[in-house]
Amino acid sequence: METFFAQLANGASTGALYGLLALALVFIFRATDVVNFAQGEMAMFSTYLGWSISRPLSLSWIPFLGVDRHLNLLTWRPEVFGLPLYLGSENDGLTRLGYLVVLVVTVAIAFVMGALIERLLIRPSEGKNLLNAVIVTLGIFAFLNSLANFRYGPVPQTYPAPFRGDAVDFGLFKMSQHSLFALVVAAVLMIAVYVFFQRTKLGLGVRAAALNPSASQLMGINTGRMLTLGWALAAAIGCVAGMLIAPALSGISPNLMFGILLYGFAAAVLGGLDSALGAVVGGIAVGVGQSMVVQYVGSQWSDIIAFGLIIAILMVRPTGLFGAPAVKKV
Amino acid sequence: MHQTAHYRDGVERFVPSPSEAVLLAALVLFCWKLYGGTENDAVAGLSSVVVVVVAWVVGVSLRAALNDMRWWLLLGFLVALIVPWLGANTFQVGVMSQVCVFALLIFGLNVVTGYTGQISLGHGALVGISAYIIAILSSNYGWNVFAAMTVGISVTTAFGFVLGIPALRLAGPYLAIATLAAALIFPPLLKLDTFEDYTGGIQGLHETRLSPPGPIESFLKEHAPSDAYQNDFQRRKFAEESYLYYISLAAGVVGLVTLWNLGRSRFGRAFVAVRDSEVAATSMGINVPLYKVTAFGISALYAGFAGAAFFLVIAFVAPESFDLVNLSINPLAYLVIGGLATTGGPVVGAFGYMWVPRVINKIATVSGDFDKLQGAMTGLLLIVVMTRLPQGVWGGVRRVNALSWQRLAGDSWAWAFQRSPLFWAGLALAAVVVVLIAQFIGTVWAVFALALLIVAPHDVWSGAGDVLRRLNPGWKRNASIQADVT
Amino acid sequence: MSRDRKPWYRTPWMAALFLAAFALPVLAVACGDDDDNTTTPTKAATTSAATTATGSATGSASASASATTDAKAQIDTIKGDTTGVTDKEVKIGSYVAKTGPASIYDDIEKGWNIYFDEVNKKGGIAGRQIKFIVDDDGYNPVNTVNVVKKLVEQDQVFTLFNGLGTPGGNAVLPYLKDAKVPSLFIASGDAKWGDQGSTIIGLQPDYVTEGTTLGKYMAQNYKGKKYGILFQNDDFGKEGRDGLKKGVGGALTLVDEETYEANAPDINAQATKLINAGAEVLGVFATPTQFAGALKYVKAQGKSVVWFSSAVTASSSTAKLAEGAMDGVFSAGYLPDPSDPDPIVQKVVQFFKDHGVANPNSFHLYSYMAAEHLERLLTVVGKNLNRESLIYALDNVAFQGDWKSTLLRQPSIVTKSDHKVIEYEWIQKWDEKAGKFQYPIGDIINSETTKR
Amino acid sequence: MTVAPAPALLQVRDVTITFGGLVALDSVSFDVGSGEIVGLIGPNGAGKTTMFNCVTRLYRPDRGSITFDGRDLLRVPAHRVAACGITRTFQNLALFPSLTVLDNVLVGQHHLLHADAVSSSLRLPTVVSEERAARAEACEIINYLDLDAYRNTYVRSLPYGVQKRVETARALVGRPRLLLLDEPAGGLNHEEVTRLGEQIRAIRDRFALTVLLVEHHMSLVMAISDHVAVLDFGRRIAVGTPAEVQRNPAVVEAYLGGQDEDGTHA
């Protein structure tokens, strides 16, 4: 029984990470109707930006100047109103406040990055064949992956975690503080996404712009701005996901996200591509499912059964567990 | 969304008007000679220019007389026949064989994703199933390769119908992920201990490559170009690669012709009808589920052939060979780049699939430290093509082609006069930079590039103009032309 | 849309930039070939000294036995295939994953490029500049086939060197044998490279040896306990597992063995299963990120288990990723880690730092060691360089026990029947406080003994 | 109610269909005699298009029967309906936008062609001749409906009115015996509506068709129909000749509520 609960907790911790990325995928799908293959790499890249901000060699966070490589003298510790912006050192990790500062700054950068990507790259292919936008996201995927490889190198780097104390003992199982934090953040984000789309006027506008651009244009909604907002917010959610995934998986590397992205897709589709609840539940289901297969069937079967089940579930519920059923119009 | 060139009798004509031929010939030669990197670049560059000029002149003069695709088909086929003698070495011949292999795969994807509109990310698994069945039968049970191929292709087709079943219930991204899951299941299945005795597990299966029958081999060895193939090993390789190339070419040509025929038959129309409106298609008497599954089945038939050809050319299968990105995602991306739901698009796509990474690798290597950026370059290329030529390269070429030539010439001048002096200054600056760079790196290829631009000014430039036009929506084409092409 | 409200990226300027951006790289490639011909070295002709380039290592070579000198004289008389060799240059090809999931290994290429740039600056070897052509295969065997055929048939390289990866190596093996192109010092731990004919030679100890080494140590020190194996579901993992089982013999009880796919984000579920099944000792053949994750996870769960890991994960960078959880972990090793305070190691580390590598890692050290082997071989062959003389020198002169790579513990030995260079491993233990490995623990184990 | 002298071509009996509790059609019965033009009218939401969808089997009625030429249509799957001799147009256009006009019309012949996948992909002589014949027939109808100028144009770039005609052509080329027209006058001006009326009659005569017509334009329906059936809230409230129907108090009642939506509705 102890094993069962340990695997359950372990699966849920991994699943929460899938769920976080799936949440970003769901967000972008609802907001722009695009399946975003670049989501993982966008998250990875913004996480790297966060990583370089949190490093003591501060100028290194200015992307692509490369000054840090040769001018290590330019180490500084910027202070704002006497509050050191960089809190902690390379080895002992960030303090919680420092983490928060880095998080806020990075999410802001990611927000802008998402908006720019939409404006510059996605916009020209919108309203055309759906596949075009998907191929553009594949292009962004390759671009960001290679850029990170070039800029930061392929070697994994440690990443600070906000909560790093002992694991919390629940009696039946133990869970690390970071995993709990990730679960909580996933739940909070899930509720936030739900409230955004269901209860706010802005969210309604974003949804309308995705569902029927021309009609919502007539209703006075600035569809272009809504799409940009959709991408920006999805990038921000992805960034939060990345900053939680990196410490959970022993550091960040350019290829950090590919595996997560595949399981994230699986999670998002399992839960239903238009459901925030589905994303998180789907993620945890995939994570727990994998753990259980490893424990009770055999690890060789882990992927086979996990993905096979997803196909099977989709055959029974074509729009996922929580997705709105497709309406056939005549 | 696709555009087809239609002539007066309403028959969809396959392929190229002169401009397309010139562009294609230039593209092919450019990549070819470029990557060849033979010692005498000057000769290569010059001969490319000559070929392009001849192709253009012939094309222009033939256009009126031979407004019939058969001539172009023949011409293309003849060029394809002498490919082993055009290539600088056997490696290039081998790559051309793989162009045929992946063309077959992309033909299949075109049926299911291009015509029928069902996104499939699982075709890598289909290629893998075919290749593995052939490998197992021929290396474990000593079957004749061609007999094994029959079985492999049939089984793959059957699997294609199975893969099509989700298409009956799933749509759009859900189907894409379901097929993706199928592709992800495949490699771990091969590695399972249960099947290891048959599949060779992680080590994969080797097969000696098919060598040409005696007379063919000696013929090819005798006629190998002597400057490129000096010793016996090279000549033997030449014979082997050429033989495999002709087999793949035969498969590729059959694939191309059948795809083209299918596209303009009631099946092609029904596939597009299913994609555009299922309800209307049903009312017109089309059994939508049947056609969806049929599309997957036909597509798997192509994938099965691709797997067979893959096995012949690569002669090695391992679970890692059938990874998601290389065999499922990239072919789809290059299909879209080539042009969805067209006949020529997949061919362009297959060329791109094999040659773009090599050309980009070359660029990256030349630029020294930036070899890690080749992924970024590929990504940029995908983005640029998709945003600037939303209907793919083939669609873009067709679009240019549909315009009348005189009008284009006139338009080009009008366009030129409408640009601001600033624009021309910028262009001149860019040109100066280009020339300067050419000065530093070498002139032969700069001359070649410039020659290309001078030889086909209207056509090539209007292609570029098409790009520029998108950047400058202020410039509108004559309305009547617009109606013609949209 | 009115013309005066164009977004900035639709202005003529951007159009011009766009055109330029296209024209430039195209021209750059286009002109690349001319470049190849113009870079012929100017210094090479003036220098004669192979000794200047080879440093201290050649010193011992000159003091070799008379039998070797005979063999050495023999080299100059052998005629053979000189593809890729001129008096001024020798073209050497390699394949490595620069992109994709295995791009981490790219540092190896960077490493030997630095090394041979330095050699070339000093005049090359036997008057020849070393020219590397390295292509990216993305760790996909199909790409490896293409890349190797390109190197052999188009670039006409003299030999392949340090090509990385077992799947790719397997895929091109028949082809290379057929083409009689040497493949030197293959960077793969597969056990097969030792006996694949005269032109194929592996560099590092194979994973079976590694597993056996670990297993023997387990058998000696943890007799009677329960153990589990966790391995990556590929050749590396499976061979490691086989070796481990062989080494352990029956001294410990095997609880279970678990695998994972290379793209799996973590392997915690597998670790949990093994530990909860009662395993007290774990043998792990994994890659650094997953291994570090598992270490952290098990530590956080408050479980205690003795870890044995492959040399693949035995590095200070893995320890950094594990954030303290790697303390006391045993691993196999044959090459020192950059964290090793040994002055020889630090000299090599400094060598890379001097050449712009901010944090030299174990891949850099590996590349240095591989490059030294190639340099040694080419130096021994000397002027009369062709494929036959190269193989002759490889089998008979270069690695006969009188030469040792700077970073290795034992001399490199190659015989005609055994084409595997490094044949020993030691057991090491990570000491978190000191920030370095304690090694060797126990004897250095030679694989010749473990094979039986 | 006049009974057709011969057994009616299309017999709709007690057709009932509900969508999640909402009764869209409630025991509707009517006949369409061979060679007639029958108008099906009613206020918005009365269930006219639903009736069409039941006849073409896109919907399956909960109860009732639909018989066409003595054949039970409810046993025929949707994609076979065209082969039975029933084709239709759609209220909001359901063309195939990425095909040309000619190809769109050729899709209408799908059920008349028999080439299989293998011979199609090899383009055997039988396929060539079959295609040639189909093309000739399609071109004839295209010419007949004055669409010649647009033959090779993609339908998505055509004006609405032309697209409506393309739909008619696509329906006609399938050699139907019963043609279902769903609001053919939508988007047309007064003059065009008059011409459309003439055209429908001409088509009926030329192709020996029976026409069932859903239309808001009262004047059009009254002018060309032989019989009219009136639906309101899913129930049939009247049936008869145009004159009879116009006098029917129930019809007047039904239309009073929706005054703004009838007749002039575009």
pLDDT tens for residues B392-413?
A: 888 776 666 555 444 555 555 5
Of A101-105, A256-260, B127-131, the poorest mean pLDDT is in A101-105
Q: Do D213 and D199 share a structural domain? A: yes
Q: Do D113 and D81 share a structural domain? A: no
Q: What CATH number has the domain bearing residue D245?
A: 3.40.50.300
* Of B249, B240, B235, residue with least CA distance to B209: B240
Please report which confidence band the pLDDT of residue A259 belongs to, taking 50, 70 and 90 as the band edges.
Answer: confident
Residue D90 lies in a domain: no
Contact residues, chain A, for C1 at CB < 8 Å: none
Identify the pLDDT of residue A255: 87
Q: Which amino acid, residue B38? A: T
Number of structural domains, chain B? 3
* CA–CA min distance B288, chain D (Å): 8
Q: Do D126 and D204 share a structural domain? A: no
CA–CA dist A79, D70 (Å, integer): 89
Cα torsion angle, D25, D30, D31, D36, sign: negative
Number of structural domains, chain C? 2
Q: Do B199 and B65 share a structural domain? A: no
Q: Closest-CA residue in chain A for C268?
A: A10
pTM (two decimals): 0.84
Cα torsion angle, C185, C188, C192, C196, sign: negative
The yes-or-no reply on C/B contact (3 CB pairs or more, < 8 Å) is yes
Instruction: Tell me whether residues A7 and C273 touch, CB distance under 8 A.
Output: yes
Identify the pLDDT of residue A52: 74
Write the pLDDT tens digit of every residue in D225-241.
999 999 988 888 888 89
Q: Kindly calculate the radius of gyration of chain A based on its CA atoms and give it in whole angstroms.
A: 20
Is the model more confident about D125 or about A164? D125
Decide if pLDDT at D64 tops 60.
yes
CA–CA dist D115, D138 (Å, integer): 17
The yes-or-no reply on B/A contact (3 CB pairs or more, < 8 Å) is yes
- For residues D162 and D148, the answer to whether their CB atoms sit within 8 Å is no
For the beta sheet containing C436-446, the strands, ordered from the edge strand earlier in sequence to the opposite edge, are C253-260, C226-232, C281-285, C306-309, C330-333, C424-431, C436-446
- For residues C24 and B366, the answer to whether their CB atoms sit within 8 Å is no
Q: Do B429 and B381 share a structural domain? A: no
The yes-or-no reply on C/D contact (3 CB pairs or more, < 8 Å) is no
CA–CA dist B201, B191 (Å, integer): 5
Q: Do C317 and C195 share a structural domain? A: no
Residue A68 lies in a domain: yes
Identify the pLDDT of residue C189: 86
User: How many other β-carbons are positioned within 10 Å of the β-carbon of residue A92?
Assistant: 9
Neighbours of chain B (3+ CB pairs under 8 A): A, C, D
* CA–CA min distance A126, chain B (Å): 9
Residue C281 lies in a domain: yes
Q: Do D112 and D67 share a structural domain? A: no
Identify the pLDDT of residue C7: 47
Q: Do D123 and D249 share a structural domain? A: no
Which stretches of chain B sit within 8 Å of chain D by CB?
Answer: 1-4, 6, 10, 258-259, 261-262, 265-267, 269-270, 272-273, 275-277, 279-288, 294, 298, 341, 483, 486
Supply angle C-alpha A193, A198, A202, rounded to 5: 80
Decide if pLDDT at C448 tops 70.
no
Q: Please identify, among B364, B397, B430, the residue that sits at the C-terminal boundary of a domain.
A: B397
Contact partners, residue C65, CB within 8 Å, separation at least 6: C402
Strand (E) positions, B136-293?
205-206
Contact partners, residue A123, CB within 8 Å, separation at least 6: A224, A227
Identify the pLDDT of residue B410: 52
Q: Do C304 and C201 share a structural domain? A: no
Q: Do C282 and C320 share a structural domain? A: yes
What residues are paired with C282 via a beta bridge?
A: C228, C307
Q: How many residues does chain C have?
A: 452
Side-chain half-sphere of B255: how many Cα atoms within 13 Å? 33
- b/e burial code for range D142-168 (CB count within 10 A of at least 16 → b): bebbebeebbbbbbeebeeebbbbbbb
Residue B411 lies in a domain: no
* Of A34, A254, A246, residue with least CA distance to A137: A34
Please report which confidence band the pLDDT of residue C19 belongs to, taking 50, 70 and 90 as the band edges.
Answer: low
Residue C145 lies in a domain: yes
Residue B300 lies in a domain: yes
Q: Closest-CA residue in chain D for B291?
A: D117
Instruction: Tell me whether residues A10 and C297 touch, CB distance under 8 A.
Output: yes
Contact residues, chain A, for B119 at CB < 8 Å: 131, 134
CA D117 to chain centre: 30
Q: Do C189 and C109 share a structural domain? A: yes
Token code pair at residue B3: 């555009």
The H-or-E segment that residue D212 falls in is: strand D210-214
Residue A270 lies in a domain: no
Decide if pLDDT at B419 tops 80.
no
Residue B84 lies in a domain: no
Q: Closest-CA residue in chain C for A2?
A: C276
Contact partners, residue C136, CB within 8 Å, separation at least 6: B361, B371, B374, C95, C96, C97, C98, C99, C143, C147
Identify the pLDDT of residue B248: 95
Q: Which domain holds residue D78?
A: 1-85+176-266
Q: Do C315 and C221 share a structural domain? A: yes
Decide if pLDDT at B97 tops 70.
yes
Residue C103 lies in a domain: yes
Q: Please identify, among B397, B430, B461, the residue that sits at the C-terminal boundary of a domain.
A: B397
C272 touches A at CB < 8 Å = yes
Is the model more confident about B418 or about C239? C239
Compare CB distances from A259 to C9, C263, C317 and report the shortest one's residue. C263
Of A119-128, B380-389, C47-56, C92-101, the poorest mean pLDDT is in C47-56
Q: Please identify, among B344, B362, B397, the residue that sits at the C-terminal boundary of a domain.
A: B397
Compare CB distances from B336 to A121, A131, A141 and report the shortest one's residue. A131
Q: Which domain holds residue B22?
A: 10-77
Q: Do D255 and D183 share a structural domain? A: yes
* CA–CA min distance D53, chain A (Å): 8
Identify the pLDDT of residue B326: 87
CA–CA dist B374, D54 (Å, integer): 57
Residue B413 lies in a domain: no
Q: Do B166 and B51 share a structural domain? A: no
Q: What SS3 state is found at C160?
A: strand
Q: Do C439 and C306 share a structural domain? A: yes
The complex's ipTM? 0.86
Q: Which domain holds residue C363?
A: 89-205+340-384
Contact residues, chain A, for D53 at CB < 8 Å: 330
Residue D93 lies in a domain: no
Q: Do B201 and B174 share a structural domain? A: yes
Identify the pLDDT of residue B382: 85
Q: Do D151 and D32 share a structural domain? A: no
CA distances from C206 to B290, C211, C419 (A): 54, 9, 12
Compare CB distances from B437 to C28, C106, C170 and report the shortest one's residue. C28
Number of structural domains, chain D? 2
Write the pLDDT tens digit of every residue in A261-304.
999 999 999 999 889 999 999 999 999 999 999 999 988 898 89
Identify the pLDDT of residue C1: 40
Contact residues, chain C, for A14 at CB < 8 Å: 265-266, 268-269
Residue A200 lies in a domain: yes
Q: Do B302 and B202 share a structural domain? A: yes
Which range, A50-54, C17-21, D52-56, is most confident? D52-56
Q: Do D64 and D54 share a structural domain? A: yes
Write down the mean pLDDT value for chain B: 76
Q: Do B54 and B33 share a structural domain? A: yes
Query: How large a percentage of chain C has pLDDT more than 70?
Result: 83
Query: Where are the alpha helices (H) located in C63-202, listed in sequence order?
Result: 66-75, 106-121, 141-149, 166-179
Write down the mean pLDDT value for chain A: 81
Of B207-216, B436-445, C73-82, D90-99, the poorest mean pLDDT is in B436-445
Q: Closest-CA residue in chain A for B171?
A: A318
Instruction: Tell me whether residues C11 and B471 touch, CB distance under 8 A.
Output: yes
Q: What SS3 state is found at C385?
A: coil
- b/e burial code for range B166-203 (CB count within 10 A of at least 16 → b): bbbbbbbbbbbbbbbbbbbbbbbbbbeeeeeebbbbbb
Residue D95 lies in a domain: no
Q: What CATH number has the domain bearing residue C197?
A: 3.40.50.2300
Write the pLDDT tens digit of every residue in D159-184.
888 899 999 999 999 999 999 999 88
Q: Do B178 and B220 share a structural domain? A: yes
Instruction: Tell me whether residues A250 and C269 touch, CB distance under 8 A.
Output: no
Compare CB distances from C27 to B372, B438, B470 and report the shortest one's residue. B438
Q: Please identify, among D154, D174, D194, the residue that sits at the C-terminal boundary of a domain.
A: D174
Tell me the longest C-alpha to C-alpha distance in chain D: 64
Residue among A18, A33, A143 with most chain B CBs within 10 A, to mutate: A143
Identify the pLDDT of residue A32: 84
Please report which confidence band the pLDDT of residue A166 belongs to, taking 50, 70 and 90 as the band edges.
Answer: confident
CA–CA dist D112, C152 (Å, integer): 58
Is the model more confident about A64 or about C297? C297
Decide if pLDDT at B451 tops 60.
no
Please report which confidence band the pLDDT of residue B181 belongs to, taking 50, 70 and 90 as the band edges.
Answer: very high
B23 touches A at CB < 8 Å = no
Number of structural domains, chain A? 1
Contact partners, residue D128, CB within 8 Å, separation at least 6: none
Residue A135 lies in a domain: yes
Compare CB distances from B442 to C6, C26, C34 and report the shortest one's residue. C34
Q: Do C172 and C108 share a structural domain? A: yes
Residue A13 lies in a domain: no
Q: Do D76 and D185 share a structural domain? A: yes
Q: Do B386 and B435 share a structural domain? A: no
* CA–CA min distance A300, chain B (Å): 7
CA C272 to chain centre: 32
Neighbours of chain D (3+ CB pairs under 8 A): A, B
- For residues B99 and B162, the answer to whether their CB atoms sit within 8 Å is no
Q: Do C434 and C317 share a structural domain? A: yes
Identify the pLDDT of residue A189: 94
* Chain A, window 18-47: residues with a beta carbon less than 8 angstroms from a chain B beta carbon: 29, 35
Neighbours of chain A (3+ CB pairs under 8 A): B, C, D
Of A101-105, A309-313, B111-115, the poorest mean pLDDT is in A101-105
Token code pair at residue B56: 């253009």
* CA–CA min distance D247, chain A (Å): 34
CA A178 to chain centre: 16
Residue D41 lies in a domain: yes
Write the pLDDT tens digit of every residue in C314-344.
988 899 888 888 999 999 999 999 999 999 9
Compare CB distances from A251 to C258, C269, C289 and report the shortest one's residue. C289
Residue A264 lies in a domain: no
Q: Do C360 and C235 share a structural domain? A: no
Identify the pLDDT of residue A48: 87
Q: Tell me the helix, strand and coil percentages in chain B, rounded to 5.
A: 80, 0, 20
Q: Do B71 and B103 share a structural domain? A: no
- For residues D173 and D110, the answer to whether their CB atoms sit within 8 Å is no
CA–CA dist B307, B305 (Å, integer): 5
Residue B66 lies in a domain: yes
Q: Which domain holds residue A220?
A: 20-257
Residue A2 lies in a domain: no
Which stretches of chain A sit within 8 Å of chain D by CB?
Answer: 330
Query: How large a percentage of chain D has pLDDT more than 90?
Result: 51
Of A7-21, B441-455, D252-266, the poorest mean pLDDT is in B441-455
What residues are paired with D41 via a beta bridge?
A: D230
Is the model more confident about C185 or about C27? C185
CA–CA dist A269, B173 (Å, integer): 8
Q: Do D182 and D166 share a structural domain? A: no
Q: In the predicted model, what is the mean pLDDT of residues C221-238?
A: 92
Q: Do D256 and D218 share a structural domain? A: yes
Scan for tokens 């720019």, then name that residue. A116
* DSSP structure string for D136-173: HHHHHHHHHTT-GGGTTSBGGGS-HHHHHHHHHHHHHT
Residue C4 lies in a domain: no
Decide if pLDDT at C36 tops 80.
no
Residue B4 lies in a domain: no
CA A108 to chain centre: 14
Q: Do D69 and D28 share a structural domain? A: yes
Identify the pLDDT of residue A210: 82
Residue D210 lies in a domain: yes
Q: Do C263 and C178 share a structural domain? A: no
Of A1-5, A164-168, C109-113, C396-400, the poorest mean pLDDT is in A164-168
Q: What SS3 state is found at C412?
A: coil
Residue A269 lies in a domain: no
B288 touches C at CB < 8 Å = no
Instruction: Tell me whether residues B286 and D110 touch, CB distance under 8 A.
Output: yes
Instruction: Tell me whether residues D157 and B483 touch, CB distance under 8 A.
Output: yes
Scan for tokens 């005049």, then name that residue. C123
Q: Do B96 and B73 share a structural domain? A: no
Residue C268 lies in a domain: yes
Residue B406 lies in a domain: no
* Chain A, window 261-280: residues with a beta carbon less than 8 angstroms from a chain B beta carbon: 262, 265-266, 269, 273
